[in-house]
Structure 1
Amino acid sequence: MTNKFITSFIPWLIPIIIVIVWQVAVAVGVVSAQLLPAPFTILTSFYNLLVSGELFYHMSGSLARALIGLLIGGGIGFVLGVANGLSKFSYAFTDTTLQMIRNIPNLALVPLVIIWFGIDEGAKIFLVSIGVMFPIYINTLHGIKNIDPGFIEMGKMYGVKGWRLFKEILLPGALPSIFVGLRYSLGVMWMTLIVAETIASTRGVGYLAMTAQQFMQSDIIIITILLYAFFGKIADMLSRWGEKRALRWHKSYVNN
């Protein structure tokens, strides 16, 4: 029990030390409270935002955009990864184009996206979708292409074909790589969302940060940064939980 507690506590040791040093540095005047408010001040501001309902309003907007963008972009990336992993024609036809688009920075697309979608939710969701699509695409493609051909041949010998072959051999074999892509895409999702929410938003954590910048509210800006870090950590934890559940059969996850 003690070892389990220590193992659970160790990951939080560095953040706790940073917060303590931060509070002391501001309290003794080493760091200006105007430039970097003390953790207690930030906590007070967080409580005020929470009680007023403003925090939930902006968080729910950001989470909705992130989830919709992940579902759309992740779904397209997965389908393209499977198609290009299974079909040489599909790979030859689409992969070069996809790789060219992948290397275009999201910021470079913003002016064009505004022309296409205006400043409504469509522009923000499009940017998130395009950001998360490629990590899932590349890792799904990698997972499908690196399945041992012997497993596929063995399955065919036992009469496993079509959908059963995909469900019982191809998909399980590609899942470790797909989950790597998912975890990476979750990080890209939050970074892209920050950019997306600078497009004439009236709701979202990014909008909250921009408004705080205009009024020089350092405590609110830090709260938004911490929120993105919190979102990213929760998303990664959920992804790892799903990975362990889906890969219980894999030898690397037996004792995890």
Structure 2
Amino acid sequence: MTAVTTTTVTAAPAAAPDERPRTRRSGLSPGRRLPAARLAGPLLVLALWAAASAAGRLDPAAVPAPWTVLRTGVHLWTDGTLAGDIATSLRRAGYGFAIGLTAGVVLALASGLSRAGEALIDGTVQLNRAIPTLGLIPLFILWLGIGETFKIAIIAIVVYIPIYLNTHAALAGIDHRFVELAEVQGLSRARFVREVVVPGALPGFFVGLRLGVTGSWLGLVVLEQINATSGLGYLMFQATNYGQSDVILVGLVVYGIFGLVSDSVVRLVERRVLSWRRTLSS
């Protein structure tokens, strides 16, 4: 009897039609954040300024060389003039910014979370926005005098308007489905504000905060040239009377440094607070 040997043949799995590894498209994202990238532009301007001054392309009486401005700044600092004016300007800007920040956030919340608040507040703020803030200076001088109070009040107005507008727009842009979900979950008013409203409004708030910080410095430049006896604006105004362009440039450079540093601080805080977001900038 012949033994029959049975051989089991295992069929090979059919090959997939096309299993080439997918490659991630590149070139659409801005790429990794470069360290100290925002300093590249100012440093380029400084290099061009220095090169033009060294080549004799700029009139030293109109636009002094960077090293002349630096020497003037060091002299003003060592004799105490620049340090005192900077302290005065920082105090004015700080008080005005704090008042404007508080007013902008409170008004935005009252207007964005209540129809009655929106009816009473939003139209008034829009009207105030349409009036040039610096055009209010004569009226505020009549009301508050020519001392520190009217300067701080004008700075506060310059600051609160962009903070209100951007925060209010962010509140209005919160998806209504989140409100319905909060109602289904039975959240209280306080928890709704803390867990839904605040996270939803933070991106717009930080945009307004950056504009408000810049606005405080812009308003300060003008206000410190109106019947002031100290401050960077007063220093620049006095230098204009004596034709000291180097002193004027010292004041402008200090204002620019303050603006750049304050904006960078706000950006840093924004990235930390909104680290949960995945955006092009991150």
Matched, 1:153 2:153: no
Percent identity (aligned)? 37
Distance in 2, Cα, partners of 1:74 & 1:102:
16
> Counterparts of 1:182-193 in structure 2 under 5 Å?
182-193=209-220
Matched, 1:209 2:209: no
- Between structures 1 and 2, the one with greater helix share: 1
**Structure 1 residues 153 and 69, CA gap change in structure 2 (3 angstroms):** same
AA at the equivalent of 1:199: I
1:25, distance to aligned residue in structure 2 (A): 2.7
Match of 2:94 among 34, 56, 67: 67
**Residue 138 (structure 1) aligns with:** 165
Distance in 2, Cα, partners of 1:40 & 1:127:
35
Distance in 1, Cα, partners of 2:34 & 2:271:
19
1:14, distance to aligned residue in structure 2 (A): 3.9
Once the two structures are superposed, what CA deviation does each residue of 1:66-113 show, in whole Å capped at 9, x if it has no partner?
111111111111111111111111111222222111111122111111
**Structure 1 residues 28 and 145, CA gap change in structure 2 (3 angstroms):** closer
Once the two structures are superposed, what CA deviation does each residue of 1:44-66 show, in whole Å capped at 9, x if it has no partner?
01111121222111111111111
Once the two structures are superposed, what CA deviation does each residue of 1:162-203 show, in whole Å capped at 9, x if it has no partner?
111101110111100110111111111111111211221111
Q: Please, what TM-score do these two structures have when normalized by structure 1? A: 0.92
Matched, 1:81 2:108: yes
1:13, distance to aligned residue in structure 2 (A): 3.7
Name the stretch that deviates more: 14-23 or 192-201.
Answer: 14-23
**Residue 119 (structure 2) aligns with:** 92
**Residue 219 (structure 1) aligns with:** 246
Matched, 1:32 2:59: yes
Matched, 1:196 2:223: yes
Q: Name structure 1 gaps, 5 residues minimum.
A: none
1:42, distance to aligned residue in structure 2 (A): 0.5
1:212, distance to aligned residue in structure 2 (A): 0.9
**Residue 196 (structure 2) aligns with:** 169
Superposition CA RMSD, Å: 2.0
**Residue 103 (structure 1) aligns with:** 130
Distance in 2, Cα, partners of 1:18 & 1:89:
50
Once the two structures are superposed, what CA deviation does each residue of 1:129-188 show, in whole Å capped at 9, x if it has no partner?
011111011111111111111112212222211111101110111100110111111111
AA at the equivalent of 2:133: N
AA at the equivalent of 1:152: V
Is the Cα–Cα contact under 8 Å of residues 205 and 224 in structure 1 kept in the other structure? yes
AA at the equivalent of 1:127: I
1:9, distance to aligned residue in structure 2 (A): 5.7
Matched, 1:246 2:273: yes
Distance in 2, Cα, partners of 1:111 & 1:62:
21
User: SS where residue 275 of structure 2 aligns?
Assistant: coil
Is the Cα–Cα contact under 8 Å of residues 136 and 178 in structure 1 kept in the other structure? yes
**Structure 1 residues 110 and 13, CA gap change in structure 2 (3 angstroms):** same
**Structure 1 residues 251 and 18, CA gap change in structure 2 (3 angstroms):** closer
Q: Name structure 2 gaps, 5 residues minimum.
A: 1-30
1:123, distance to aligned residue in structure 2 (A): 0.8
1:10, distance to aligned residue in structure 2 (A): 5.0
Distance in 2, Cα, partners of 1:9 & 1:156:
45
Distance in 2, Cα, partners of 1:234 & 1:24:
26
Is the Cα–Cα contact under 8 Å of residues 123 and 196 in structure 1 kept in the other structure? no
> How many equivalent residue pairs?
252
AA at the equivalent of 1:218: S
**Structure 1 residues 155 and 54, CA gap change in structure 2 (3 angstroms):** same
AA at the equivalent of 1:229: G
Once the two structures are superposed, what CA deviation does each residue of 1:23-45 show, in whole Å capped at 9, x if it has no partner?
34333432211111111111101
Distance in 1, Cα, partners of 2:273 & 2:161:
22
Distance in 1, Cα, partners of 2:161 & 2:224:
21
